[in-house]
Structure 1
Amino acid sequence: MTSTIGQRLAQATGFLSGGSQSSEQLPWNPDASRFPTRKELPKIPGAPEGAAWVWGKDDQIGRLNLLTPKRVKAASAEIKTGEVIPLNLPLNVPETPAFGREKFVHKIKVLLENICYDDQYELNTQSGTQWDGFRHAKGTDIVGATANHKCSIHHWADHGIAGRGILLDYWGYAKANGISYDPYKSHGISFADLQKCGQAQGIDIRPEAQGGDIKVGDILFIRSGFVERYHELTPEERTAGALRPLHLESSDEDAAKAAVKDPHSPELEWAGIKQEEAVIDWLHDCYFAAVVGDAPSFERWPTPEPYHLHEYILSLWGMPLGEMWDLERLTQKARESKRWSFFVTSAPANVPGGVSSHANATAIF
């Protein structure tokens, strides 16, 4: 009864304030309070089915458009005590990155002995705490004769990222409720799982327009246990886990042959969000400005479905996706204060043509 009343009130408020966004009216108004569901998405000429690049012809930032000055100002009300929680792993963690990515290398350059020293980094921006950019998988925009700056990470840097974060500590919920899984193994966290986790934290994870607690433009954080598990393992176990072979389909014949599975070699696996329609609908309909996890792949790896959630999140919707963020201190502070929402900022690297970025992220309570 209460949720039905809440839903009706939210809908009424949207209509009375003129904040309901028509699916057919393009471009959409980022400041609207209510947006079409995934099932109501318009068909955009020349775009794939289910595409939601609805913010204008030359839009480069996707759902970061939802982080309007109005929403950022409202999110600043989350700052109560001023306590600052960094969300970045050290640049050398994981020491051995997965997916064949290079290790972080730090060198000191001596400019003048005992007077001036410089840092020199060799850094794959996706080796640790990272943002996956929208150019993650479209080679023709990135290399070769047609390379360009379309959807480059520097557009995110120009816009800036700041808003209300909301944390779902699924790893803590699972341990408290006898749900056993290894973050270094394939395990899918379903929508039903997240819903129960939210309920345990006192959060209704439905969109505000449906009577829930998720506001348009929120930045979602999901703790699935990777960082805690990483620190429990020996260096040898961490390295072995990261170097498990990766098997991906490829159009390149030589690469395809090299990717033939060895039945005696364990495949690269991670726990993460489950590939299912309920999860896809939820991630879309909440209108998160971005989603973040502590796992190397955010979604369960490998996917048992003929798709990856990355395709929806990055390519179809233009929603930034963060991986391997350090959510340990954040979770501790959230539990101590019994507050699961907070103000969050991130400063992506201003690199024209960039595919991804380290996060440079901070939560403020």
Structure 2
Amino acid sequence: MDANNLPQWKDMPAVEGMPHGCAWGLFDKDGKKDELGTLNLLTPEVVMRAREEIKTGKSVALNWGLDRLSDVQMGRSVLKHSHVDWRDKGYDFWCYDDEISINTQTGEASCCGGSQWDGLRHWGHSKTGYYYNGIKHDDLLKSGRLGVENWTKRGGIVGRGVLLDYVAYAKRKGIEYSPMSSHPIPVVQLEEMARESNVEFRPGDIPIIRTGWTKWYDEAGFADRKKYVIDGYDWVGIEGCEEMMEWLWNHHFAAIATDANGVERVPFNPEWTLHDYALAFWGMPLGEMWDLEALAAECETQQRWTFFLTSSPLNLPGGAASPPNAIAIF
């Protein structure tokens, strides 16, 4: 879909029973209810233009290890990984298999894995229980709709990524904060980061915000992880307010990702919860706990903060979330 066909925030049509800013129906086509949301903005034209970012051939993987968060929280299971030795099974060849069990909802305080995309089956509107395009919670799993396999069927998530490096920005500006605090990143700072990086946003872009959350976790001891992650619930993220929702929608981003475990600051603002707007209202994937350290270093080396981005989520029918399998190519 051409972003020019979408209304600006102030002109979004009303959806009965929902707050202003709900995009249900805007991506429907030929009488069929949409299941891709803002990923519709990743048109062939957008992808072809994004390939112009490939200049050096350098690639950087953005996936935090599946084993990184191994502390149980909120009752979610942790990664289980074992090997099968086929010789133990009586076969005469040398061979190992993997057996892996994970909770794909590895971010957002689950503390049981690595990077992820929140899918459209993950989160319904906090006040009504409706998921993207008007599916009620109790009907979702019976509907056969909104699974992450739809992302695979459309060819994955491919476009232009834009790094907004808040860690480097805060250091330049003398802003002191801890990733393990409810520290808000407002629109004005996101805009200033883009200007200082000579970035002009385009429809279909995928902004990726580095907050230092995964770096903090990698460097912390168990006592601090227990205090601030297992037993804590105050984490850095973008500010939850109407200005932020308007900014995200009006830029017509295809998705948004971060190295923090909520994208928005935690605790959420109950009146302006990004998960409500992005996932339930717009169908916009939210990437959480991506590993952005090598990406930030490469951006500094090349002095450019845009790149070609590919992500191949799981082809999991009915899936609610997925590891991103994301790569930045310069």
Normalising by structure 2, what TM-score? 0.86
Which residue, 236, 242, 253 being the options, matches 1:288?
253
Deviation by residue 1:267-296 (Cα, 9 ceiling, x = unmatched): 411110111121111111100000001101
* Residue pairs, 1:156-195, within 5 angstroms: 156-159=151-154, 160-195=156-191
| Count of matched residue positions in the alignment of Structure 1 and Structure 2 | 305
Corresponding residue number in structure 1 for 2:102: 123
Letter paired with 2:225: R
- CA offset at residue 126 of structure 1? 1.9
- CA offset at residue 143 of structure 1? 6.5
- CA offset at residue 196 of structure 1? 2.3
Corresponding residue number in structure 1 for 2:147: 152
Helix, strand or coil for the counterpart of 1:106? strand
Letter paired with 2:48: K
Letter paired with 1:71: V
* Residue pairs, 1:1-365, within 5 angstroms: 30-33=1-4, 35-44=6-15, 49-53=20-24, 54-56=26-28, 57-96=32-71, 98-113=73-88, 115-127=94-106, 128-138=114-124, 147-159=142-154, 160-203=156-199, 213-244=200-231, 267-365=232-330
Helix, strand or coil for the counterpart of 2:201? coil
Deviation by residue 1:130-183 (Cα, 9 ceiling, x = unmatched): 010111134786777962321111101111110000110011110222101110
Gaps of 5+ in 1: 1-29, 204-212, 245-266
- Residue pair 2:79, 2:100 contacting (<8 A) in 1 also: yes
Letter paired with 1:235: F
1:97/1:357 Cα in 2 relative to 1: closer, same or farther (>3 Å)?
A: farther
More moved, 192-201 vs 121-130: 192-201
Structure 2 distance, partners of 1:115, 1:239, is: 41
Structure 1 distance, partners of 2:319, 2:248, is: 25
Structure 1 distance, partners of 2:321, 2:67, is: 17
Structure 2 distance, partners of 1:304, 1:145, is: 25
Structure 2 distance, partners of 1:281, 1:86, is: 31
Structure 1 distance, partners of 2:136, 2:96, is: 37
- Residue pair 2:149, 2:314 contacting (<8 A) in 1 also: yes
1:63/1:230 Cα in 2 relative to 1: closer, same or farther (>3 Å)?
A: same
- Residue pair 2:2, 2:41 contacting (<8 A) in 1 also: yes
Helix, strand or coil for the counterpart of 1:85? strand
- Residue pair 1:153, 1:356 contacting (<8 A) in 2 also: yes
Please provide the CA RMSD for this pair.
2.1
Normalising by structure 1, what TM-score? 0.78
- Residue pair 2:64, 2:290 contacting (<8 A) in 1 also: yes
- Residue pair 1:141, 1:150 contacting (<8 A) in 2 also: no
- CA offset at residue 224 of structure 1? 1.0
Identity %: 41
More moved, 278-287 vs 233-242: 233-242
Letter paired with 1:239: K
Q: Which structure has the larger Rg over C-alpha atoms?
A: 1
Letter paired with 1:233: A
Helix, strand or coil for the counterpart of 2:309? strand
Structure 1 distance, partners of 2:103, 2:206, is: 24
- CA offset at residue 242 of structure 1? 2.4
1:358/1:141 Cα in 2 relative to 1: closer, same or farther (>3 Å)?
A: farther
Helix, strand or coil for the counterpart of 1:352? coil
- Residue pair 1:95, 1:104 contacting (<8 A) in 2 also: yes
- Residue pair 2:260, 2:289 contacting (<8 A) in 1 also: yes
Letter paired with 2:174: G
- Residue pair 1:135, 1:151 contacting (<8 A) in 2 also: yes
